[in-house]
């Protein structure tokens, strides 16, 4: 049976909302990482069977199958197809899963998986505008779920204080700043030239933040809430992409894969709590992989809100030192449709640099779902 390997993975720097990447069309952000994959590997884009692209707000500049638009904007041959995926925050992690499934099934020999979101140009929630996406049949059961309130409920259920959440947020910024200073993102970064200058680092990292500063931020969701802008993910712009093949195709092209998609899993959970599904998704992925939590050397758990990785940590018993070792979305940003591929890109390069055999990635998704992926390093 064919397997699914990752030959290379790249990402743009992440820009803050209305920040350094705000002037770039999301299809051009996407085309940039596609182009970088080709330049880094020397692969003829004509061999790519498909581009599977995550994007959440598929409206305006991100509509009309942005995957295909990006392929053509990159100057790739007309023969290369593209399809756009929406599994909310896990969209581009799902792109990786779809790519892996296609490779294993023999439907593809070579494929690109990734995603994009320009939250400056296509604001979060713009795809629904003034319309209510939930029908009465849904609302009668669940009301109108809200992620912020779900995060508040999660913090209460797992006994996570405001101080604990803020400490975790400060840790995210400290780890991201250290990774920047030590050049630990350099292998994955595809710098972007815009406005006459080159952007080569993530814009959202706050180096001067303190616990006192974070404690002074108000909670927008509850009068006595513990969730604030300081311990939640940043609204961001960015794109990321992974070149995936069968081992046979990589060998034919003279390429050495850096990692293998070992196991994938999905889980659904309470849609009102919304953010807890990474916990059962992790258990399912480990069980399917025949591994224990102690076998995993690095974890990427998306920091949509600080209670998500902290509740996950409490339930799994994972080593906190191995959780989001280069910081997470609280510091780096969360460009929705790109985040799954961004986390995967960071994970595989971190594993390669540190001799880690197994890594696991999971992230919460609106509607109470989660993807989980076990990666095995081959480098």
Active-site position among 55, 89, 173, 350: 89
Half-sphere exposure of 23 (CA within 13 A, CB side): 8
Q: How big is the CA angle at 301 (ends 102 and 89), to the nearest 5 degrees?
A: 60
55 catalytic per annotation: no
Q: Give the Cβ contact number of residue 210 at 10 Å.
A: 11
Specify the residue for token string 């959780």. Answer: 323
For residue 60 the two structure tokens come to 């305006």
Active-site position among 97, 334, 349, 350: 334
Read off the DSSP letter of residue 231: G
Q: What separation in angstroms does the CA of 233 have from each of 17, 31, 59, 155, 308?
A: 12, 25, 22, 15, 11
Taking the CA atoms of the chain, what radius of gyration do you get in angstroms? 19
Active-site position among 32, 97, 173, 364: 364
* Rounded-to-integer distance, Cα 91 and Cα 334, Å: 12
Are the beta carbons of 364 and 274 closer than 8 angstroms?
yes
Are the beta carbons of 329 and 339 closer than 8 angstroms?
yes
Return the active site residues: 89, 334, 364
């Amino acid at each position: 049976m064919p397997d699914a390997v990752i030959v290379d993975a790249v990402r743009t720097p992440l820009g803050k909302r209305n920040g350094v990447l705000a002037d770039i069309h999301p299809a051009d952000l996407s085309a940039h990482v596609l182009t970088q994959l080709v330049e880094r590997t020397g692969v003829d884009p004509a061999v790519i069977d498909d581009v599977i692209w995550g994007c959440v707000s598929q409206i305006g500049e991100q509509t009309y199958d942005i995957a295909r638009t990006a392929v053509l904007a990159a100057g790739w041959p007309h023969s290369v197809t593209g399809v756009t995926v929406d599994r909310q925050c896990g969209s581009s992690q799902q792109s990786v899963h779809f790519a892996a499934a296609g490779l294993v099934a023999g439907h593809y020999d070579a494929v690109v998986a990734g995603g994009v979101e320009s939250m400056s140009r296509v604001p979060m929630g713009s795809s629904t505008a003034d319309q209510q996406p939930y029908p009465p049949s849904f609302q009668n059961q669940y009301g109108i779920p809200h992620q912020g309130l779900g995060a508040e409920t999660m913090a209460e259920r797992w006994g996570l204080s405001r101080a604990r959440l803020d400490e975790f947020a400060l840790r995210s910024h400290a780890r991201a700043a250290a990774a920047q200073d030590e050049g630990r993102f350099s292998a994955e970064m595809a710098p972007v030239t815009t406005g006459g200058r080159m952007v080569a680092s993530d814009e959202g990292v706050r180096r001067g933040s303190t616990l006192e500063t974070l404690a002074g931020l108000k909670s927008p969701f509850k009068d006595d809430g513990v969730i604030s802008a300081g311990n939640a993910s940043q609204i961001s712009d960015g794109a990321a992409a992974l070149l995936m093949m069968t081992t046979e195709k990589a060998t034919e092209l003279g390429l050495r894969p850096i990692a293998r998609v070992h196991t994938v899993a999905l889980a659904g959970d309470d849609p009102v709590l919304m953010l807890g599904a990474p916990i059962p998704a992790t258990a399912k992925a480990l069980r399917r992989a025949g591994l224990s939590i102690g076998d995993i050397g690095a974890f990427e758990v998306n920091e949509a809100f600080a209670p998500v990785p902290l509740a996950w940590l409490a339930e799994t018993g994972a080593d906190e030192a191995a959780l989001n070792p280069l910081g997470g979305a609280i510091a780096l940003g969360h460009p929705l449709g790109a985040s799954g591929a961004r986390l995967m890109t960071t994970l595989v390069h971190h594993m390669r640099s540190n001799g880690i055999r197994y890594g696991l990635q999971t992230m919460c998704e609106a509607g109470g779902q989660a993807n989980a992926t076990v990666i095995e390093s081959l480098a």
